[in-house]
Amino acid sequence: MGEPIIEIREAKVYQGDNLILEHVNLIVNKGEFVYLVGKTGTGKSSLLKTLYGELPLKDGEATVAGYDLKTLTWKSVPYLRRTLGVVFQDFQLLTDRNINDNLKFVLRATGWKDEKLMDEKIADVLDKVGLKSKGFKMPFELSGGEQQRVDIARALLNSPKLILADEPTGNLDPETSDEIMQLLFHIAREYGTTIVMATHDYIVIQKFPARMIRTEKGGVYDNANINML
């Protein structure tokens, strides 16, 4: 048996007052790579947002990286976020500054103060995602795949135990998608980082098979032993 990093019991997921998912029971262990699959609008993003504290957990029990989501307050959300990395579909890079300064902004926001240590950390994460020489470039000077790599580098800044990735290949061509998937699997394998990735791209899943969790008809189903493809 592995050690859980996500543990959810009889949870309900809401967007405002709208019930999106119910009877959510899920365990994800440290070091696992898990796909969160399902059609658009079935609750994948809402579940991820609940896991990183953007949507409050109103009913049920859930712990993520040691944090009890039920007792999470706006003051404790930043501490939860420091243990996580979040990768977005649309990159969400700051367009008015170069890549180094994008990453430094995140480090400062999460409590880093030493300039030398910040520079070393930024060089380290850019190296890990294959962008060692691109830190001085502006976001618009990078391809979509490179911007997604920066997004992943940003997620790695605080050496997270868990990365939550929301459709990280959604805006990329097939070849670039493959490169990003190889990078994510490399991170999971090399650093023991748990990755939960929302996607509805079954071509990606066929090429890079892993455990699947499915959102459907207001519920969450573990398809670890079912071949849906």
The pLDDT-based confidence of 81 (bands split at 50, 70, 90) is confident
Residues 71 and 9 in one domain: yes
- Whole-number pLDDT of residue 1: 54
Residues 214 and 166 in one domain: yes
Look at residue 89 and tell me if it is in a domain: no
Contact 11, 62 (CB under 8 A): yes
Residues 78 and 12 in one domain: yes
Look at residue 88 and tell me if it is in a domain: no
- Is the pLDDT reported for residue 189 higher than 80? yes
The pLDDT-based confidence of 111 (bands split at 50, 70, 90) is confident
Domain hosting 191: range is: 4-83+160-222
CATH, residue 46? 3.40.50.300
Mean of per-residue pLDDT scores for the chain: 91
Amino acid residing at 145: G
- Number of structural domains (the chain) is 2
Strand order of the β-sheet with 194-199 is 84-87, 162-166, 194-199, 33-37, 211-216, 219-222
Residues 78 and 171 in one domain: yes
Look at residue 67 and tell me if it is in a domain: yes
- Whole-number pLDDT of residue 47: 94
Residues 23 and 74 in one domain: yes
- Give the percent of the chain with pLDDT over 90: 74
pLDDT digits (tens, 9 = 90+) for 194-211: 999 999 888 999 999 999
- Whole-number pLDDT of residue 222: 87
Averaged over 34-51, what is the pLDDT? 91
The pLDDT-based confidence of 163 (bands split at 50, 70, 90) is very high
Look at residue 172 and tell me if it is in a domain: yes
Residues 121 and 25 in one domain: no
- Whole-number pLDDT of residue 89: 77
The CA radius of gyration of the chain, in Å to the nearest whole number, is 17
